[in-house]
Each structure stands twice: as structure tokens, then as C-alpha cells.
Amino acid sequence: MKKVILIFGVLSLLVFIRPALGLSFSSATNTTATTSVSTQEHDSERSFVSEAIGGIKQFYQYTGFANAAGGNIIMIIIGIVFIYLGIKFDYEPLLLIPIGAGVIIGNIPFVAGNQTGIYETGSVLNYLYFGVVKGIYPPLIFLGIGAMTDFSSLIANPKLMLLGGAAQIGVFATFLGALYLGFNLPEAGAIGIIGGADGPTAIFLSSKLANGINILADGTTVKNLIGPIAIAAYSYMALVPVIQPPIMKLLTSKKERLIRMKPPRAVSQKEKMIFPVVALLLTTFISPSALPLLGMLFFGNLLKESGRTERLADTARTKLIDIVTILLGVTVGASTQADIFITSDSLLIFGLGAVSFVIATMGGLLFAKFMNLFLKGDEKINPLIGAAGVSAVPDSARVVHAEGLKADPQNYLLMHAMAPNVAGVIGSAIAAGIILSFFG
């Protein structure tokens, strides 16, 4: 009996204290509470999934996959082709590989406003591109070219300088073609220099005339054509082994290709030292606007030939020119951002560049044939070397040499071809200075 009373007392106590402990729930209340907790947990899970999906979507919006356009893909493929040509066929690899890499870098899709693109103020690429826009890199390239160039062949046979001048007909033919296609005078002048087949000169002139900044007399702003002009110039420089041989064979006979030129005379060291000073004065007095290019070209050559500044000459023709070539190639390539580069103007510029290069090659070849009308015996020149008048140094001279060997395995034209080749460098710089004087 005592046990029953004890059990009953305990149960009664539990009944009275359960409300105080929060344990007084009916079965219906328990069911509702359980359902509420389950709903909250389910809503929490749904919220977490939604946030995760939202985060993934936001991440995707910042990737290149979301921002890629057809133009970006096209330009990336072009960049890969440039790299392939440089590696597989050895077409100007020091130029095409940096430019190809730059084309890829410049066309990786990005979110505007994050200081990523080459045209966005404050971005790293924009700072590097400053050297192109302001024409800083080309004179430094010319310094290195001067320090590695031997002008002996030109000094020994000065009349070959005329071939370098004759090849510049491509510059003025392209200028007229650009005017016909609707470009204004400064833009046409910048496009015309592609005919000289000289990348640094093309960049220098386009940075002055077709930079997207200058305002014309009628209030219009010139177009920014630096990228298309530079890519066209360097592309045709790299394609010299493809473009020039068919033109050489078309315009010269077998007999003309067999002409052997007498060896150039020996040039003294004193002549080599005097030449850069005299050439600097003559060329810059003729075309003062070309002073940044010609001044650095002949200064570099003076470092080489003086015999007292070998360390400086070595730096100019190795480390310095290598660094500048890297920066120039990558930034010029990156400037081909699809939304700016892929335009009808770019296609016209590439078309004009091809025509101008053909005309320049033809001009040198035909003028060499014309000179032979007044030369006799061993004074005659092999017309093939006229093709080296374009300033694609030294590839054009190498192509001439290779074509000469095909006609006669014992006919060595390289030294002879270097004379019009380096004259073409000087001629294109003078032409650029003349154009800049008129339209700058």
C-alpha cells in the first residue's frame, strides 16, 4: 500500500511541476512543433542551396567563359597561329612569338572596370603600352639595330643606296591608296609607312599621327590605328620568305639571276667611324622629324665602330634591344583587343599592307634592272638585290641570297644585298620623317 501511495505521489508531483518545466504539451502541440522545426530546417537547406547557386553564378559572370565574344576567339586563334609560324617555320620568331602571346593576353575576356585591359587607365598593360603610344620603344630598337649593323657594304658601293630609296615607292603608293579608301591625311600617312616593311618605324609614325588623340582642323579625332598598322607591318616582315620569292622570279630572267657582282672593296675602320656622323648630319638635315629614329640608329652604330665603347654597344645590341623587343611585341599584340581591332579599317589596312609590300619589292627589283641599263661589264648588279631595298633587316637580304643560290650555287649575294637592305632602313625613316613634317 505504501508503494502505491508513493507512486501516486510521484506522478502527482510530475503533473504539477511539468508546466513549470515547459514539458506540458499535448500530442497535437508536439506534432505542430515537430512540423515547424522540420519546415525551418528545410527552408534553411533551400536557402543554403540558393546562396551556393547564386555564388556559383556570380563567379561564372567574372570568368572569361561568360564574357567571351566571337571576336576574342578569332583573335586568340590568330595569336596561336603567330606563335606556330614563329616556332614551326622560324618566321621572325623574336617578333611573332611575343606578338602572338600578346594577342592572346589582350583577348582573354575580362570584366570592364577592373583595370585589366590594355586600354583601361591604371592597368599594368596600359602602363607598358605607354612606350608604344608615346613612341618610346622604336628609337630604342633603332639604337640596338645601329649597334649591330655593319654599313661596310653600303660604304663600299654607295650607288646601291638608290635601291633602298626606290623601294620606298611602296610607302607613297600605300598613302595614296589609303586616301582613296577614305582615310584622312594623318591616318593615310601612318598607314603608308607599312610599305617600308619596318615595324618600329610604323609604330613610331602611327603613334604620332593615328593615335586616337589628335584632333583635326574640322574637329574630328583621328582613329587609333596603332595596333592594326603595327601588326600589319610586323606580319609582312615575317612573311618576307613567302611574299618576295615569287615576285623575284616573275620580274627577273634566269640570265639576270645569274649575274655575279664583283666583291665589294675593303672598307677601313676610319671610314666606318666617319660614316655614322656624316650620315646622321645628312639624313637629319633632310628630314629633321626623323631625328629620334635616325639619331639613335647612327648613335648605336658609332658606339659599335668607335672602338672605345664596346660595353655600351654590346648592351645596346643584346640586353637592351631584347628587353624592348619583349615589351614592344607583347604590348603591340595585346593592343589587338577584339572590340577595337576587329573593324573594317583593320581589314583595309591589312589589304593595303600586302599591296604596298608587293609594290616596294617590285620597285627595288625594277630600279635595279633600270640601273643596269647604264652599267657595263662587272659593274652590273644582280637585280635580285633590289628586293632587299625593303627594310626588313636582315631577312630580306637572306631571301635574296637564297634565291641567288638557287640560280647559281656559287653566287653569294648576301653582302651585296645588305647594302640596299640597310639603305631601306634609312630610307623608311626618312620617309616617315617627311610624312610627319607634313601631317604631324
User: pLDDT tens for residues 418-428?
Assistant: 999 999 999 99
Helix H or strand E segment including 358: helix 344-372
Average pLDDT over residues 8-18: 43
Confidence of residue 42 (pLDDT cuts 50, 70, 90): low
Highest mean pLDDT among 79-88, 107-116, 231-240: 79-88
Q: Is residue 33 scored above 50 in pLDDT?
A: no
What pLDDT is attached to residue 212? Answer: 84
Please determine, for residue 8, whether its predicted confidence score (pLDDT) is greater than 70.
no
Residue 433, pLDDT > 70, answer yes
Residues 255, 233: Cα–Cα separation, whole Å: 33
Query: What does the pLDDT average to over 116-129?
Result: 92
DSSP secondary-structure letter at 287? Answer: -
Rounded to whole angstroms, the Cα distance separating 221 from 241 reads 38
How far is the CA of 279 from the CAs of 155, 276, 306, in angstroms?
A: 11, 5, 15
- 262 in Cβ contact with 415 (< 8 Å): no
**pLDDT class of 18 with cuts at 50, 70, 90:** very low
User: Binning pLDDT at 50, 70 and 90, where does residue 39 land?
Assistant: low
Among residues 190, 185, 192, the alpha carbon closest in space to that of 169 is found at 192
Under DSSP, the state recorded for 320 is I
- Give one word for 197, left, alpha or beta, with left for phi > 0 and alpha for psi -120 to 50: left
Which of 60-74, 176-190, 282-296 is the least confident region?
60-74
Is 211 in a helix, a strand, or coil?
A: strand
pLDDT tops 80 at residue 83: yes
pLDDT at residue 256 tops 70:
yes
Q: Is the pLDDT of residue 286 over 80?
A: yes
Q: What is the average per-residue pLDDT within 269-298?
A: 96
> If you average pLDDT over residues 20-38, what whole number do you get?
46
The mean pLDDT value for 109-123 works out to 87
Taking residues 19-38, report their average pLDDT.
Answer: 46
Angle at 292 between CA 421 and CA 280, to 5 degrees: 60
- Looking at residue 378, its pLDDT comes to 83
Which distant-in-sequence residues (6+ apart) come within 8 Å of 398 by Cβ?
Answer: 414
Query: Who's near 334: CB < 8 A, 6+ residues apart?
Result: 102, 103, 105, 106, 118, 125, 129
Read off the pLDDT of each residue in 278-299 and give the average, rounded to a whole number.
96
Among 3-7, 336-340, 389-393, which stretch is predicted with the lowest mean pLDDT? 3-7
393 contacts 240 by C-beta, under 8 angstroms = no
Q: Is the pLDDT of residue 20 over 50?
A: no
For the chain, the 3-state helix, strand and coil shares in percent, each to the nearest 5, are 75, 0, 25
Query: How many residues in total does the chain contain?
Result: 440
The span from the CA of 351 to the CA of 237, in Å, is 15
pLDDT in tens, 352-362: 999 999 999 99
Name the nearest CA neighbour of 325 among 85, 102, 90: 102
Q: What is the pTM of this model?
A: 0.86
Residue 40 pLDDT exceeds 80: no
32 band by pLDDT with thresholds 50, 70 and 90: very low
What's the pLDDT band for 43 if we cut at 50, 70, 90? low
3-state secondary structure of 215: strand
Q: How large is the average pLDDT for residues 223-250?
A: 91
